[in-house]
Amino acid sequence: MSLAIQLEQVSKRFGSVQAVDEVSLELAEGSLCGFLGPNGAGKSTTIRMIMSIISPDSGVLRVLGGSALDNKDRIGYLPEERGLYRKMRVGEFLAYIAKLKGVHPTGLQHRINDWLERVQLPAVAKKRCEELSKGMQQKVQLLSALMHRPDLLILDEPYSGLDPLNSRLITELIREEQRRGATIIFSTHQMHTAEALCDRVLLINKGKKVLDANLSELRAQHDGRGIIVEPAGDPTAYMHAALAAGFAAHAESTEKGLVEIELREGIGGNDALQAALAAGACRTVSLRRLSLEDVFVQLVGGSVAELRGEGGSADV
Amino acid sequence: MSDSMKTGARKRSWWSRTRTISWREFKHTALTKAFFFGAIVVPMLMMGVLFLIPLMIDREAPPIVGTVAVIDPTGRVAAMAQHTIETEGDTGPFGDLPPEAKAQLDGMNSAMPQTPGAAGMLDAIDARSEIDLTWRVFAEDGKDGAPTLDALKNEVQSGDLIALVVVTALGANARATDAGASGLMMFVPTSASPKHQRLIGRAFENALQDARVQSLGIDDADFERVRNHPAAETFRISPAGDEASEIGEARMLIPAGFMFLMWISVFTSANQLLTSTIEEKSNKVMEVLLAAASPMQLLAGKIFGQALVSVIMLVMYGGAAIAGLTAASMNDLITPTDLVLFTLYFIMAYFMIATLMVAIGSAVSDLREAQSLVGPVMILLIIPIMLWLPISESPNGMLATIASFVPPGMPFIMILRVTAANEPVPLWQIIASLIWGYGAMFGMLWLGARIFRVGVLMQGKPPTPKELLKWAFVR
């Protein structure tokens, strides 16, 4: 399978800050990859290097088999910083970017109107960009990345500032582009969106890659390592009983009266359920499925509980 | 074949993409109402107003109606002044000028017969006012039924008299008059027109002067002939052998015209480049553009687009200037060599200043931040304007020669020198300035492009000049 993006030991430093530190990545054509990381992790810098907007200090970078500079017309890019010419009319702006991307002027206006209707912005072609709301401006900018039907679509925070309806619309457009065969990589802080959309996630922190896995592999790796119990009695008493019973490596009570238990190594799901029932009276016992957000927080900044600061917790 | 190719996207050449950027830059500067009004309509209106002023002056000349009282112990001065006012009237504001200056103005007036606007303006400024005056002349105040001086002053104060003129007997005697003593006083009400004051005052001054001449026993006509200042009539013989009236001042204006034309055309576009680059950066549209074009394409597109704006201004104003010179039969003062050199120096000036401005625009986030970096550039640009007069008078002096080799002001200085026709600039200096200037221009382009490439993506506090230089060598 040919690769859409290939990074080998790519690094970039700004003064004393190591923005990207020997990041490697191979992204197959047609895949949809979520690019995750906390603020300042180096996502935008990596994306800008992929786009050849800035050059890496070291490492090898190939996009669509060559340099992004040579393949700019085959790439659609939505930068993190949203920007439009404030006084320019929407249709004029889209036509300008499309022409720069190599779209033939014949039938361009028709194509612009079609796209505007698809994102539920009919009749804004004649409006000046400054007259649009923030969400509308964002959709116009997304169109400027899509209109030339790119083979590679790079979206930096495509959901920021969008209401749920528009987020759903963007999701639908992204899925449609993937069905068309485009390779898509997008950065986001919305874990549930990445979880629902991506078949692969890449997580970087402090410039280093800390996770690069298919979502299915990730679930298999992390699922079943915890249970959630709703005790019939006092949650704190149940928490201590569970730790004393020996099947829990870590337990914590939540504000909702639940006890989240992290299982010791070697304890299977069925054994854990039986041990939980034996530790005290329970209303419900269920296996905990780790969300992408949990993985993110664990890999980037310690345990979920430490960050959330919810309830009490105890370790064995 | 990739899907994008199937759906109408085509691979664009370097120039094709640059052309698209240039066209947007040009369109959003030149094809706007602001440019149409600022660069075309307003200058045209100003020129129109220059032609309308004479008509307005002519119509607004107020009539002189009222009573003038004169205390004239000589018995001659009042009569002569009255005669002058009623027969010759106002000689206009230029009547105050020395005779040689008036002769020069007359020369300019006659040198421009084909430009009715300019000639008409001089005529109109010199227009006469309608005169309807009553004269009350007394040999001495307070005697033989004449009112006292205070009573006459009261009449001036109340507005019954438009002027009270007091002539002293000694003032009319040339030998008895102290140097510096005028021998003449005039009282006017607060509502008096300055034009009327000047008319009456000057008539009495001349009359008193004539009285002094008469007191010396010199014939008036002889005195007038002596007083008529000789002015050399200069004629310019063109290479074709035609003769035309020469106006030295106008010839000094031609180099200045060339320089200012270059300055305005270059600076207008360079300023547009500065603001449009800052706008693209502050609107965050820069990254969208950089995803579609390389920094060099963006830079080149912007500079070429604004160059077109600059050329349009040049053609418009330059065309108007050449038309004006042709109408005044002075087109022989501009040679084809001047035009060729002007074109070469204009290209040099434009690319130098445009590169500086676009580099500054890329390095800052808003216009306020740009001021600290634009300031030094503006000082460099103002130097040619400050040196206009000394260089026009001495185009081959040391100051002019040194300034001709200091970028970025050198193209402006060189065009001043080469079009100042009184002293040809040595050929080696022209060639050396072109070689050195174009070398400096390419150096500045390289430096500007390097700064632009880094600056457009930088945010935060504006860089110092040292940091700007550092950017030029960043990988």
**DSSP states of B195-234 as a string?**
HHHHHHHHHHHHHHHHHHHHHTT--HHHHHHHHS---PPP
The DSSP code sequence of B121-160 is: HHHHHTPPPPEEEEEEEESSTTSTTPPPHHHHHHHHHHTS
Q: Mutating which of B283, B298, B365 best tests the A interface, going by the most A Cβ atoms within 10 A?
A: B283
* Cβ-nearest to A151 among B4, B21, B294: B4
Quickly state the pLDDT bin for B240 (edges 50, 70, 90): low
Q: Specify the pLDDT at position B120.
A: 43
| Partner residue facing A100 (CB), from B8, B279, B292 | B292
DSSP assignment letter at B38? I
User: What is the DSSP secondary structure assignment for residue A42, as one 8-state letter?
Assistant: S
Residue B227 has pLDDT above 80, yes or no: no
Higher pLDDT, B129 or B379: B379
Distance set, CA A108 to CA A126, A129, A147, B313, B429 (Å): 15, 19, 10, 33, 54
**Is B283 in contact with A86 (Cβ distance < 8 A)?**
yes
Among B12, B24, B294, select the one facing A73 at the smallest CB separation.
B12
Contact A85 B285 (CB under 8 A): yes
Average pLDDT of B397-416?
A: 91
A34 exposure class (CB count in 10 Å sphere: 0-12, 13-18, 19+) = buried
| CA terminus-to-terminus distance, chain A | 47
> Which residues of chain A lie closer than 8 angstroms to B280, CB-CB?
83, 85
Neighbours of A127 (CB within 10 A): 15
Phi, psi of A198 (to 5 degrees): -85, 155
DSSP type of residue A66:
B
Interface test with A, best of B18, B28, B287 (most A CBs within 10 A): B287
- pLDDT over threshold 50, residue B96: no
CB-based contact A144 B288, cutoff 8 Å: yes
Q: Which residue has the tokens 């004029």?
A: A92
In angstroms, what separates the C-alpha of B352 from chain A's closest C-alpha?
A: 26
Q: Do A100 and B289 touch (CB under 8 A)?
A: yes
pLDDT band at residue B252 under the 50/70/90 scheme: confident
The answer to whether B4 contacts A57, with C-beta atoms less than 8 Å apart, is: no
For residue B348, give every residue at least 6 positions away whose Cβ sits within 8 Å of its Cβ, in sequence order, or none. Answer: B410, B411, B434, B437, B438, B441
What is the rounded distance in angstroms from the CA atom of residue A277 to the CA atom of residue B58? 111
Least confident of A3-17, B4-18, B179-193: B4-18
Residue with the bigger pLDDT between A144 and B114: it is: A144
pTM recorded for the entire structure: 0.69
Higher pLDDT pick, A243 / B128: A243
Q: Which of A29, A53, A132, A151 should be substituted to probe chain B, the one whose Cβ sees the most B Cβ atoms within 10 Å?
A: A53
Comparison of pLDDT for B219 and A173, the residue scoring more: A173
Q: Please provide the average confidence, as pLDDT, over all residues in chain B.
A: 80
- For residue A51, the chain B residue with the least C-alpha distance is B291
Percent of chain B with pLDDT over 70: 80
What is the pLDDT, as a whole number, of residue B306?
A: 95
Overall average pLDDT of the B42-66 stretch: 72
Contact A85 B279 (CB under 8 A): yes
Name the token pair of B315: 């053609």
Q: Is A152 on the interface with B (CB under 8 A)?
A: no
* Cβ pairs A/B, distance under 8 A: 100
Assigned token pair, B147: 């009112």
In chain A, residues 93-112 whose CB comes closer than 8 Å to chain B: 96-97, 99-104, 107, 111
The DSSP call for residue B170 is: G
Tell me the chain A residues in contact with residue B475 when contact means C-beta distances shorter than 8 Å. Answer: 55, 57
- The H or E element that residue B356 is part of is helix B336-363
Q: Which residues contact B65 (CB under 8 A, 6 or more apart)?
A: B130, B132, B133, B162
Backbone angles phi, psi at A109, to 5 degrees: -60, -40
From A52, A99, A144, residue closest to B20, measured CB to CB: A99
Contact A81 B284 (CB under 8 A): yes
The chain B residue lying nearest A154, using CA atoms, is B291
Residues in A closer than 8 angstroms to B289, CB to CB, are: 100
Stretch among B146-160, B362-376, B437-451 having the lowest mean pLDDT: B362-376
From A208's Cα to the closest Cα of chain B, the distance in A is 22
Burial of A179 (0-12, 13-18, 19+ CB in 10 A): exposed
Task: Find residue A26's DSSP bridge partners.
Answer: A6
Q: Is the peptide bond before B98 cis (omega within 30 degrees of 0)?
A: no
A144–B7 C-beta distance less than 8 A: no
Q: Please give the pLDDT value at position B226.
A: 79
Q: Is A82 on the interface with B (CB under 8 A)?
A: yes
What's residue B397's pLDDT? 85
DSSP helix/strand/coil, A160: coil
Cα B170 to chain centroid, rounded = 47
Residue B104 has pLDDT above 60, yes or no: no
Is A53 close to B475, i.e. CB distance below 8 A?
no
Contacts of A51 in chain B (CB under 8 A): 290-291
CA-nearest of B93, B94, B89 to B107 is B94
Q: Do A151 and B11 touch (CB under 8 A)?
A: no
Nearest one of B438, B452, B273 to B343, comparing CA atoms: B438
| Residue B26: both structure tokens together | 């040009």
Decide if A151 and B2 are in contact by the 8 Å CB cutoff.
Answer: yes
Does any CB of chain B come closer than 8 Å to the CB of residue A69? yes
Mean pLDDT score of chain A: 84
Residue B169 is classified by DSSP as: T
Cβ of A102 and B10 within 8 Å? yes
pLDDT score of B125? 42
Better pLDDT: B351 or A68:
B351
To the nearest whole Å, the CA of A74 is away from the closest chain B CA by 6
Band the pLDDT of B13: cuts 50, 70, 90. confident
**pLDDT value for B155:** 92
Q: Is A200 an interface residue toward B (CB < 8 Å)?
A: no
B364: pLDDT strictly greater than 70: yes
Quick one: pLDDT at residue B307? Answer: 95
Task: Kindly give the pairing relationship between strand A17-28 and strand A3-14.
Answer: antiparallel
- The 10s digit of each residue's pLDDT in B317-344 is 888 888 877 877 777 778 888 899 999 9
Q: Is the pLDDT of residue B102 over 80?
A: no
The pLDDT > 90 percentage for chain B reads 24
What does the block give as tokens for B120?
A: 């008409």
Average confidence (pLDDT) over A227-239:
88
3-state helix, strand, coil in chain B (%, to 5): 65, 5, 25
Choice among A211-215, B122-126, B366-370 with the minimum mean pLDDT: B122-126
Residue B169 pLDDT greater than 50, yes or no: yes
Query: Do B262 and B411 touch, CB atoms closer than 8 A?
Result: yes
Contact (CB, 8 A) for B124 and B111? no
Q: Which of A183-192, B120-129, B373-382, B451-460 has the lowest mean pLDDT?
A: B120-129
Tell me the nearest-neighbour CA distance from B381 into chain A, angstroms: 30
The nearest alpha carbon in chain A to B280 belongs to A85
Q: Do A148 and B4 touch (CB under 8 A)?
A: yes
How many Cα atoms are found within 13 Å in the side-chain-facing hemisphere of A107?
A: 10
Q: Of B285, B290, B292, which is closest to A101 when you measure between CB atoms?
A: B292
Q: Is the pLDDT of residue A128 over 50?
A: yes
pLDDT at res. B433: 94
Cα Rg for chain A, rounded, in angstroms? 24
Residue B128 has pLDDT above 70, yes or no: no
Integer Cα distance of A143 and A98 in angstroms = 10
Longest dimension (CA), chain B: 119
Q: Which residues of A touch B24 (CB under 8 A)?
A: 96
Specify the pairing of strand B131-138 against strand B64-71: parallel
Residue A20 has pLDDT above 60, yes or no: yes
Question: pLDDT tens-digit profile of B269-314?
Answer: 999 999 999 988 888 888 889 888 888 899 999 999 999 999 998 9
Match 């109107």 to its residue by tokens: A113
Task: Look at B291 and A72 and tell me if their CB atoms are within 8 Å.
Answer: yes
> What type of residue is B306?
Q
Query: Worst-scoring range by mean pLDDT, A72-81, A102-111, B55-64, B190-199?
Result: B55-64
Q: Report pLDDT for B91.
A: 47
What domains can you pick out in chain B, each with its CATH number?
A: 61-227 (3.40.190), 248-472 (no CATH)
Q: Is the pLDDT of residue B99 over 80?
A: no
Contact, A304 vs A298, CB < 8 A? yes
Q: Residue B446 corresponds to which tokens in the numbers above?
A: 């390289």
Q: Which domains does chain A have, with CATH numbers?
A: 3-219 (3.40.50.300), 223-315 (3.30.70)
Could you give the CA distance from residue B60 to residue A241 in angstroms, rounded to a whole number?
A: 108
Q: Which of A22-31, A301-310, B172-181 has the lowest mean pLDDT?
A: A301-310
Interchain CB distance below 8 Å, A55 and B290: no
Positive/negative CA dihedral, B426, B428, B431, B432: negative
Strands A259-263 and A226-231: antiparallel
Global ipTM: 0.76
If you average pLDDT over residues A194-201, what whole number do you get?
Answer: 84
Q: Give the pLDDT mean for B78-101.
A: 64
Q: What is the pLDDT of residue A76?
A: 92
> In angstroms, rounded to a whole number, what is the distance separating the alpha carbons of residues A100 and A103?
7
Span of A155-164, B156-165, B247-256 with lowest mean pLDDT? B247-256
pLDDT band at residue B413, thresholds of 50, 70 and 90? very high
- Confidence grade of residue A8 (pLDDT, cut at 50, 70, 90): very high
Cβ distance of B9 and A151 shorter than 8 Å: no
B-chain residues near A83 (CB < 8 A): 280, 283-288
Residues of B in contact with A145 (CB under 8 A): 291
Angle at A94 between CA A91 and CA A98, to 5 degrees: 135
Residue A202 pairs in a beta bridge with: A35, A212
Q: Which residues of B touch A (CB under 8 A)?
A: 2-4, 6-12, 17, 20-21, 24, 28, 279-280, 283-294, 457, 475
